[in-house]
């Protein structure tokens, strides 16, 4: 079979830039070089795209950026590139170099805003190139916690009780909005920016003073804020893979070492416990797997997603928390680890994702 030209994109403008570097380096190390010609593009935190042809080991530490610039400066031009949306020749042009690279598939290893939220997916649609993961709609809906909750609620998926407020409206009518929240929710109350990830901007408010501070802090990240009842429960995740007939992994459990799974606990403390697969009854396992697939289909996901749940301790209710369309993807991340529970190893997972991207593209274009 002819080798495929795969463009792996990493970095990006979101707060999850560093996580993306780790995921991408891991993917690049595992991709079969006999099957794929790999073209690597890094996006800086400022949003500049750079072709990267240096060693994989210089990606995680951030050195890739300097190396990408140096190699081009030697040749006397800046490392700027542009996408080339030209039918069969779709690909990238290295400006200043007399060079184009044809692209067969894009693997955007980007988390959070401008990577997982449909924006870059829109660019790939315009280029008419297959890409790994969810399409424009599923990406943006899953990214927006307020919209995702509303859609899933319409289909009867159990979730924590929630409300959505607009930050601007809150500024104009603070007293009434606070009263309304207090009439409907008991402290502690979770406050989240609608569009973020990695727990950024999320706080748990224990009283009115904290609630006000939490809203102010979430308001720094988004104009839309989600208010949620606190669920006392276990945190369970499930990995889903596929297009029209998705499959689900066995569920896994996360046991945060902090009061909740906040940014520090996720990326700094290193003391979170992961139980893969989770210790659940057969019924619970099946319920989680089936709900994960149902949620995946409702949001029209393709490729992959990690679907996150709570199991409420007092009631055993299974509640959906959120869907991540480009979850952490290092070899030891939850998504690949969960896929192993159904016999899909890391290298095979990458192959399957690339095939799914092409399959979806061909279906749409035939």
* Residue 127 beta carbon to ligand ADP: minimum distance, rounded to whole angstroms: 28
User: With CB under 6 A as the contact rule, which of the stretches 18-26, 48-56, 256-264, 353-361 interacts with ligand ADP?
Assistant: 256-264
Range 280-283 contact pairs with CB under 8 angstroms and sequence separation of 24 or more: 280/236, 280/251, 280/311
* Residue 332 beta carbon to ligand ADP: minimum distance, rounded to whole angstroms: 18
Does residue 96 come out as left (phi exceeding 0), alpha (psi in the -120 to 50 range) or beta? left
Location of structure tokens 């459990």:
253
* DSSP element (H, E) containing 168: helix 167-172
158 binding ligand ADP? (CB under 6 A): no
Question: Interaction with ligand ADP in 66-85: which residues (CB under 6 A)?
Answer: none
**Cβ distance 165 to 139 under 8 Å?**
no
Measured distance CA(189)–CA(185) in Å, rounded: 7
Residue of this chain nearest to ligand ADP (CB atom): 261
Q: What is the DSSP code string of 311-350?
A: EETTT--EEEEEEESS---STTSHHHHHHHTTT--HHHHH
144 binding ligand ADP? (CB under 6 A): no
Q: Among 121, 321, 325, 330, indicate the residue that binds ligand ADP (CB under 6 A).
A: 321
* Residue 131 beta carbon to ligand ADP: minimum distance, rounded to whole angstroms: 22
User: What are the tokens at 319?
Assistant: 């509640």
Location of structure tokens 């800046």:
78
User: With CB under 6 A as the contact rule, which of the stretches 71-79, 192-200, 330-338, 347-355 interacts with ligand ADP?
Assistant: 192-200
- What CA dihedral angle connects 295, 299, 305 and 310, to 10 degrees? -40
Q: Toward ligand ADP, which CB reaches closer, 117 or 322? A: 322
* Integer CA distances (angstroms), 355 to 25, 205, 250, in order: 20, 45, 23
Q: Among 132, 196, 292, 350, indicate the residue that binds ligand ADP (CB under 6 A).
A: 196
* Integer CA distances (angstroms), 190 to 67, 215, 229, 237, 272, in order: 43, 10, 6, 19, 20
User: What are the tokens at 306?
Assistant: 């990690």
253 binding ligand ADP? (CB under 6 A): no
Measured distance CA(125)–CA(244) in Å, rounded: 19
Q: Among 117, 222, 228, 237, indicate the residue that binds ligand ADP (CB under 6 A).
A: 228
Q: Among 6, 41, 59, 202, indicate the residue that binds ligand ADP (CB under 6 A).
A: 202
274 binding ligand ADP? (CB under 6 A): no
Comparing C-alpha atoms, which of 13, 94, 89, 86 is closest to residue 50?
A: 94
User: With CB under 6 A as the contact rule, which of the stretches 2-10, 71-79, 117-125, 193-201 interacts with ligand ADP?
Assistant: 193-201
* Residue 235 beta carbon to ligand ADP: minimum distance, rounded to whole angstroms: 6
Which three-class secondary structure state does DSSP give residue 59?
A: coil
104 binding ligand ADP? (CB under 6 A): no
Q: Toward ligand ADP, which CB reaches closer, 64 or 310? A: 310
# residues contacting ligand ADP (CB under 6 A): 18
231 binding ligand ADP? (CB under 6 A): yes
* Residue 112 beta carbon to ligand ADP: minimum distance, rounded to whole angstroms: 9
Q: Among 198, 214, 302, 340, indicate the residue that binds ligand ADP (CB under 6 A).
A: 198
- Site residues, ligand ADP (CB under 6 A): 160, 190, 192, 196-199, 202, 228, 230-231, 235, 256, 260-261, 308, 321-322
């Amino acid at each position: 079979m002819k080798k495929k030209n795969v463009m792996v994109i990493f970095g990006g403008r979101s707060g999850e830039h560093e996580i993306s570097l780790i995921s991408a380096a891991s993917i690049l190390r595992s991709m079969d070089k006999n099957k794929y010609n790999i073209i690597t593009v890094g996006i800086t935190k400022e949003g500049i795209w750079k072709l990267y042809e240096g060693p994989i080991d210089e990606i995680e530490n951030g050195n890739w950026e300097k190396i990408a610039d140096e190699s081009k400066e030697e040749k006397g031009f800046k490392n700027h590139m542009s996408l080339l949306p030209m039918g069969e020749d779709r690909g990238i042009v290295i400006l200043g170099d007399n060079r184009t690279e044809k692209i067969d598939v894009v693997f955007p290893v980007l988390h959070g805003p401008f990577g997982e939220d449909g924006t870059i997916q829109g660019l790939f649609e315009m280029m008419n190139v297959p890409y790994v993961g969810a399409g424009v709609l599923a990406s943006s809906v899953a990214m927006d916690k307020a919209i995702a909750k509303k859609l899933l609620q319409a289909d009867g998926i159990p979730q924590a009780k929630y409300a959505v407020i607009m930050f601007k409206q809150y500024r104009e009518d603070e007293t009434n909005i606070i009263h309304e929240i207090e009439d409907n929710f008991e402290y502690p109350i979770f406050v989240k920016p609608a569009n973020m990830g990695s727990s950024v901007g999320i706080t748990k408010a224990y009283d009115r003073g904290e609630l006000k501070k939490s809203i102010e802090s979430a308001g720094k990240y988004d104009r839309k804020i989600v208010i949620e009842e606190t669920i006392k429960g276990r945190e369970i995740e499930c990995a889903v893979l596929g297009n029209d007939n998705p499959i689900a992994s066995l569920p896994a459990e996360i046991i945060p070492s902090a009061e909740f799974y906040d940014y520090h606990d996720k990326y700094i403390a290193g003391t979170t416990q992961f139980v893969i697969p989770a210790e659940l009854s057969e019924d619970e396992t099946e319920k989680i797997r089936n709900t994960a697939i149902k949620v995946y289909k409702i949001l029209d996901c393709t490729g992959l997603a990690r679907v996150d749940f709570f199991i409420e301790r007092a009631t055993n209710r299974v509640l959906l928390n959120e869907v991540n369309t480009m979850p952490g993807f290092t070899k030891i991340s939850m998504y690949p680890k969960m896929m192993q529970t159904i016999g899909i190893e890391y290298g095979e997972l990458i192959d399957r994702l690339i095939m799914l991207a092409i399959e979806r593209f061909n279906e749409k274009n035939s």
